[in-house]
Amino acid sequence: MENKQYLSYNGNIIEVDDLKIGINNRAFQYGDGIFETMHASGNKVQFFYEHMERIIRSMKILKMEVPVRFSVDTMGLQKEISKILNKNKLYKGARVRMSIFRQPGGFYSPSSNETEYTIQCNSLVSDKYDFNTKGLLIDLYDEIPKPINYLSRIKLISSMFSVMAGIYKTENELDECLVINTKGNIIEGISSNIFIVKENTILTPSLREGCLAGIMRQKTIEIARKMNYSIQDEAVVQVNDLMAADEIFFTNAINGIQWVLGFKQRRYYNKVSNQLSDALNQMCFPEQFSSSIINNDIPKYKTA
């Protein structure tokens, strides 16, 4: 017998099959909404407050009314997520998706800025951030450049750009694609921020270049600085920077840190990314890591 799946709709726990969203739903009609994906281990959502801050910031940019419980009763929202995880019997690793959309009404101009939301969850293979043993093979997706504006930093429900990049990735049998902005600069992956390692400097594209303001991007920067790496988080990245790099890795809230094996004919190491992944897991799951990784000697690359 198939297990029933549950979600939360405006705070009410219901079976997934019982969700009734009408044809006038603005997320369906206009893509009028945002979403957030979070990593949960047991009943704990990693970086929950940072995710909520981004949700609230995004809602304000889109002129959506922020429910009181999003900004005041965050403990209640955490309990709601825990209840859904338990209801779905997800006691280890889980992917939590929160979708927020404006209430029905109006055409392009909404008749109300009040919102509704859903919270879904699905199981993950691991309860930690597993570092990939097989490096990713990637290439450039340059058919549709990503615009540079303040909406570029937000996780919009209207994600057609990422869908098209995802189709390109599948058609070309890639693990991930690099996305460019309208200036032709590399800014991110389809669902991840990108980092480049050159000797003992770590670079990542500037938010002003149009990349997503990722939670894991910021946490990786914080960890790397504690490990005494030189960080350039306002970088402008082009293809020649990738060809000259020692390492490339991606970050996102679900997978943590994932290293890249190859871009075109170039092949890369995974020393720094592996060490950063260990430090991330130590920070999030200290009971499973006994020794301190942060402030250990950083890997050294020989200059050509």
pLDDT at 293 over 80: no
- CA atoms lying within 13 Å on the CB side of residue 189: 27
Query: Which residue ranges does the chain devote to CATH 3.20.10.10?
Result: 136-288
* Mean pLDDT, rounded, of the chain: 93
- Sorted by sequence, the CB contacts under 8 Å of residue 38 that are 6+ apart come out as 45, 46, 47, 48, 51, 95, 96, 97, 98, 253
Contact between 247 and 269 under an 8 Å Cβ cutoff? The reply is yes
Cβ partners under 8 Å of residue 95, min gap 6? 37, 38, 39, 40, 121, 122, 123, 124, 254
pLDDT tier at 304, thresholds 50, 70, 90: very low
Domain 136-288: give its CATH code.
Answer: 3.20.10.10
Q: Are 162 and 154 in contact (CB under 8 A)?
A: no
Q: 215 and 253 in contact (C-beta within 8 Å)?
A: yes
- 166-222: pLDDT as tens digits: 999 999 999 999 999 999 999 999 999 999 999 989 999 999 999 999 999 999 999
The average pLDDT across 274-295 equals 82
Q: Which pLDDT score, from 0 to 100, does residue 2 have?
A: 64
Using CA atoms, how far apart are residues 177 and 263, in angstroms rounded to an integer?
10
**Mind listing the pLDDT tens digit for each residue in 275-285?**
999 999 999 99
Instruction: Give the rounded distance of the alpha carbon of 8 from its chain centre.
Output: 21
For every residue of 11-80, which 3-state class applies, written as one string?
CEEEEHHHCCCCCCCHHHHHCCEEEEEEEEECCEECCHHHHHHHHHHHHHHCCCCCCHHHHCCHHHHHHH
| Residues forming a β-bridge with 13 | 8
Determine how β-strand 266-267 pairs with β-strand 256-263.
antiparallel
CATH fit for domain 6-123, picks 3.60.21.10, 3.90.45.10, 3.60.110.10, 3.30.470.10: 3.30.470.10
**DSSP for 220-247, written as a single string:** HHHHHHHTT-EEEEEE-B-HHHHHT-SE
Read off the pLDDT of each residue in 220-225 and give the average, rounded to a whole number.
Answer: 98
Range(s) within the chain of domains with CATH label 3.30.470.10: 6-123
DSSP bridge pairs for 139? 177
pLDDT value at position 287?
80
- 2: DSSP letter: P
